[in-house]
Amino acid sequence: MTDATMNSKPGTEIRRPTLTGERLKKRYAAERRFRLYGLGSILTAGLILVFLVGSITGTGYTAFLQTYIKLNISFDPEFLDPAGTGDVAQLASADYGGMVKKNLRDNFPEVTSRRDKRKLYNFVSPNAGFDLRTMVIDDPSLVGQSLDLWIKASDDIDMLTKGYVDRTLEESNRRVSDTELVWYDKLDSNDRIESRFNTDFFVKADSREPEEAGILGAVTGSLLTLVITLLLSFPIGVMAAIYLEEFAPKNKWTDLIEVNINNLAAVPSIVFGLLGLAMFLNFFGFPRSAPLVGGMVLALMTLPTIIIASRSALKAVPPSIREAALGLGASPLQVVTHHVLPLAMPGILTGTIIGMAQALGETAPLLMIGMIAFIVDVPGGFTDPATVLPVQIYLWADSPERAFVERTSAAIMVLLAFLIFMNILAVMLRKKFERRW
């Protein structure tokens, strides 16, 4: 190094930045562009969300309606009770399907060919007979009468009413043939087609027939599963958090548990399903498809969420409160149960609700333990075979019938409604008990 550079007055002259408008303009343009990228990203995310919810509600809302056809039904004793015994057992086992078909023929006397008859039978739900059976068993005096009744339409006709059948298509390319369209229009012009609120969707379990399929079975299954999940993961999670936060010595062992919990939180959910399959089903021999096992698997899965949330809630309680209680001679456990835990409870509950919401939306691990079976009954207990709402959505999404698409969307709307409710609950809890120390 020469003396010249050492000098406090360096040789180079002072060069002020050339703050010309040109360059500054460029820099500000870059600034605006960058800012726009950020804003654009958030707006993109928002638009996607709107599009997603919009496309689902758009296809789903029609599932809350069901088409009914007004038909003149005569409760012909020939079908129901040919011997005239009036015996309930006889009424219960009668051929209602045949009766419905006969009535359809009577309502459309012009239909004669075998092929057309089959098309005609396809107008009403295959299960319409069961509804009539219930009516007759409730009121045996109906036998022999003839009434105008609203009969549930089949899914094809339902789709037609809802405008999902494109009449401009070639006949071979649509589910409803030209003849059927003519009959339908005739019914429609006579005001014999009506859309009603689809109560069956909420009070029935799964079915192969879209117009008969409901979500009650799946919702009950979800509920039973969540009860098990909550009963297991909440106490275990809170107790684990208390130990780790309040009692555990800071050593390698505790470190290991901590690292382990953080990792478990990031293990793919399907791996928990494999654990459930190998451990609970194959090794311990627990029943397949049962909410009990589903709940246990989901409990293991939500445990890390609850532990992590509980620990941060416990951590937020200032040490001064612990010291005050200890100073009064309370035992460490009393300090925790009397003071720390009540103060941390809102935070813990918020975390638990969020964990439960996660569990409610979880599908993959439940597929592994067989909760994917087709189940037409509403489960009555924790060991009954059951399915859950997300799995029901998956099953319906896989079904080919057009009518299941809207039902899938509707089931998604119900699931999202539950999740939104839970999250609002969590937010309210957090707001209400938010405390600044």
Partner 1 sequence: MSEKKKMAKSDASPASKATPPNATPKMKGDKVKVFYGEKQALMDVDLDIQPNEVTALIGPSGCGKSTFLRCLNRMNDVIDICRVEGKITLDDEDIYDSTLDPVQLRARVGMVFQKPNPFPKSIYDNVAYGPRIHGTAQSKADIDEIVETSLTKAGLFGEVKDRLLEPGTGLSGGQQQRLCIARAIAVNPEVILMDEPCSALDPIATAKIEELIDELRENYTIVIVTHSMQQAARVSQRTAFFHLGELVEVGDTEQIFTNPNDSRTQGYITGRFG
Partner 2 sequence: MNSFFLILVVIGLSVAGYAVGRARSVFAAAGDVRILHSLPSYYGMFVALGCGLPAILLLAIWLIIQPQIVDHMVMSGLDPSIMPQNADAYSLMLTDIRNLSSGNATSREASPAIVAATERYLALQSIGFWSMVVGVVCIAMLGLAWARSQISRNFRARNAVEKIIRALLIVCSMIAILTTVGIVLSLIFESIRFFARVPFFDFLFGIHWSPQTAIRAEQVGASGSFGAVPLFAGTMLITLIAMLVAGPIGLLSAIYMAEYANPKFRGIAKPMLEVLAGIPTVVYGFFAALTVAPMIRGWGEGVGLDVSSESALAAGLVMGIMIIPFVSSLSDDVINSVPQSLRDGSYGLGATKSETIRHVIIPAALPGIVGAFLLAVSRAIGETMIVVMAAGLASNLTANPFEAVTTVTVQIVTLLVGDQEFDSAKTLAAFALGLVLFFVTLGLNVVALRVVRKYREKYD
Read off φ and ψ for residue 436, nearest 5 degrees.
-105, 125
Read off φ and ψ for residue 204, nearest 5 degrees.
-120, 160
Q: Which does 8 bind (CB under 5 to 8 A by kind): partner 2, partner 1, none?
A: partner 1
| Piece of the chain touching partner 1 by CB under 8 A; list 3-11, 72-80, 263-271, 285-293 | 3-11
d(CA 46, CA 40): 10
Q: 177 or 358: whose CB is closer to partner 2?
A: 358
Q: Which does 38 bind (CB under 5 to 8 A by kind): partner 1, partner 2, none?
A: partner 2
Read off φ and ψ for residue 375, nearest 5 degrees.
-125, 120
The reply to whether 351 sits near partner 2 by the rule CB under 8 A is no
The reply to whether 256 sits near partner 1 by the rule CB under 8 A is no
Q: Which does 268 bind (CB under 5 to 8 A by kind): partner 1, partner 2, none?
A: partner 2
Interface of this chain with partner 2, residues 2 to 21, rule: CB under 8 A: 17
Q: How far is the CB of 396 from partner 1 (least distance, A)?
A: 50
Give the 3-state secondary structure of 335-346.
HHHHHHHHHHHH
DSSP 216-256: HHHHHHHHHHHHHHHHHHHHHHHHHHHIIIII--SSHHHHH
Handedness of CA 170, 174, 176, 181 (dihedral sign): negative
| Piece of the chain touching partner 2 by CB under 8 A; list 32-40, 97-105, 145-153, 190-198 | 32-40
The reply to whether 277 sits near partner 2 by the rule CB under 8 A is yes
Q: Which does 115 bind (CB under 5 to 8 A by kind): partner 1, partner 2, none?
A: none
The reply to whether 312 sits near partner 2 by the rule CB under 8 A is no
Joined together, the tokens standing for residue 109 give 């006397």
The reply to whether 49 sits near partner 2 by the rule CB under 8 A is yes
Query: Comparing C-alpha atoms, which of 184, 139, 182, 135 is closest to residue 157?
Result: 184
Q: Which does 269 bind (CB under 5 to 8 A by kind): partner 2, partner 1, none?
A: partner 2
The reply to whether 372 sits near partner 2 by the rule CB under 8 A is yes
Q: 13 or 178: whose CB is closer to partner 1?
A: 13
d(CA 296, CA 288): 12
Q: Which does 338 bind (CB under 5 to 8 A by kind): partner 2, partner 1, none?
A: none
| Piece of the chain touching partner 2 by CB under 8 A; list 135-143, 145-153, 235-243, 338-346 | 235-243
The reply to whether 33 sits near partner 1 by the rule CB under 8 A is no
Q: How many residues of this chain interact with partner 2, rule: CB under 8 A?
A: 89
Residue-wise burial string across 59-98, b where 16 or more C-beta atoms lie within 10 A, e elsewhere = bbebbbbbbbbbbebbbbeebbbeeeeeeeeebeebebbe
Joined together, the tokens standing for residue 386 give 């059951």
Q: How far is the CB of 14 from partner 1 (least distance, A)?
A: 5
d(CA 351, CA 422): 11
Q: How far is the CB of 102 from partner 2 (least distance, A)?
A: 34
Interface of this chain with partner 1, residues 11 to 30, rule: CB under 8 A: 12, 14-19, 23-24, 27
Q: Which does 239 bind (CB under 5 to 8 A by kind): partner 1, partner 2, none?
A: partner 2
Joined together, the tokens standing for residue 429 give 């809890």
The residue from 195, 269, 312, 399 that contacts partner 2 (CB under 8 A) is 269
The residue from 122, 225, 350, 363 that contacts partner 2 (CB under 8 A) is 363
Q: Which does 16 bind (CB under 5 to 8 A by kind): partner 1, partner 2, none?
A: partner 1
Q: 72 or 331: whose CB is closer to partner 2?
A: 331
The residue from 10, 23, 25, 44 that contacts partner 2 (CB under 8 A) is 44
The reply to whether 257 sits near partner 2 by the rule CB under 8 A is yes
Strand 65-74: give its sheet, edge to edge. Answer: 146-152, 65-74, 193-197
The reply to whether 159 sits near partner 2 by the rule CB under 8 A is no
Asked if residues 143 and 136 have their Cβ atoms less than 8 Å apart, the reply is yes
Q: Which does 15 bind (CB under 5 to 8 A by kind): partner 1, partner 2, none?
A: partner 1
Asked if residues 301 and 228 have their Cβ atoms less than 8 Å apart, the reply is no
Asked if residues 289 and 373 have their Cβ atoms less than 8 Å apart, the reply is yes
Residue matched to tokens 């039973």: 224
* Other Cβ atoms closer than 10 A to 266: 7
Residue matched to tokens 């419905």: 100
d(CA 119, CA 97): 15
| Piece of the chain touching partner 2 by CB under 8 A; list 114-122, 183-191, 199-207, 407-415 | 407-415
Asked if residues 324 and 418 have their Cβ atoms less than 8 Å apart, the reply is no
Residues that bind partner 1 (CB under 8 A): 1, 5-10, 12, 14-19, 23-24, 27
